[in-house]
Amino acid sequence: MTDIFAPKLTDNLLPYDGLVNDLGIVIDYPSPLFYNLVTELPWQEDIVTLFGKTHITTRQIVWMGDSDIDYQYSGHTRQTIPWTDTVFHVKHHIEQKLLDLGIDANFNSCLLNYYPSGEDGMGYHADDERELGEQPVIASLSLGATRKFVFKHKKTQDKVELYLESGQLIVMHGDTQSFWKHSITKTKKVTTGRISLTFRQIYPNNRS
């Protein structure tokens, strides 16, 4: 297991089979942004169907983006709401940060997850749906409580761990989604909330 605490901004966090870069803190005032999103967005409980069983999560979501960019995962379709001015501004800010790294991204959607406390998490999964393309670029911005984020290789089971702070941005690209899963682990030590904004490009014509 690799434990990563303070990587350089341009270092690849993964040892092989993928690319993940940590851009550090990219939001100057993350606390007001966190409060704005918690109080103003139409959060809904997520519905996930796994192995024939449907679960309603305490984690809440908002799916936001361009018109007609619905997203299908875990057996359900998430309906798109239009960009808010705040999230649209964050999107352009992050696209510029990635361009500085040499990654030309033009995101048309964002999945926002709200974890009310450390007892809310997300199990191992890969963002490998067909409509994301073969080598998706996914930028994930964290706001609120610091939480443990874990990558696990699908074949070797090797793990890479990092702790995501408020305002911190990581970008997953290359073959990452093909070879690695990732999760937000649960913990009783964290009592405050966290929001993740995962910006991505959806290709509707790629749906089966």
pLDDT at 73: 58
C-alpha torsion angle, residues 98, 133, 91, 125 (rounded to 10): -100
When divided into structural domains, the chain yields a total of: 1
Domain interval for residue 198: 2-206
- In the structure, what pLDDT confidence band is assigned to residue 3 with cuts at 50, 70 and 90? very low
Q: Give the 3-state secondary structure percentages of the chain, helix then strand then coil, rounded to 5.
A: 20, 40, 40
Question: Which CATH number does the domain housing residue 115 bear?
Answer: 2.60.120.590
- 63 alpha carbon, distance to own chain's centre: 12
User: What percent of the chain lies above the pLDDT cut of 90?
Assistant: 75
pLDDT tens readout for residues 112-158:
999 999 999 999 999 998 889 999 999 999 999 999 999 999 999 99
pLDDT at 7: 43
pLDDT at 51: 54
pLDDT at 46: 79
